[in-house]
Amino acid sequence: MSDSKPVYLKLRDIIAAAIIDGTYGEGTMLPSVRAFATDQGANPLTVAKAYQLFQLDGLVEVQRGVGMFVARGASDKLRRSEREQFLEIEWPAICQRIERLGLQPAELLCEKL
């Protein structure tokens, strides 16, 4: 992650990754703002701002007095969005760096792929 990225966006990325990888599956309640803030060492208002992004994007459903729950299809929607961002923003810069460093494709293959 970029060091210049605002904290609330870094927190948003942590939550998004947890939704994509299934840590927070569809219908699962997210940690409370205070619990997540404590866990991350962040200000609760900053966490609330990150959570609000998910609410605005329709990725969570709020049940007043209960909590926030991962909405149906949130993982797929996030995965598509993250792929698009990677391919349009991050990958071109990575390709430039690969070329600049003279790396070969075989050197870049991940063992898991």
Domain boundaries, the chain: 1-113
Rounded distance, CA 53 to CA 66, Å? 19
Rounded distance, CA 103 to CA 99, Å? 6
pLDDT tens by residue, 38-79: 999 999 999 999 999 999 999 999 999 999 999 999 999 999
Exposed/middle/buried for residue 9 (C-beta within 10 Å: 0-12, 13-18, 19+): middle
Residue 108, pLDDT score:
85
Residue 111, pLDDT score:
65
Give the CATH number of domain 1-113.
Answer: 1.10.10.10
Tell me which of 31-35, 95-99, 102-106 is least confident: 102-106
Rounded distance, CA 113 to CA 26, Å? 26
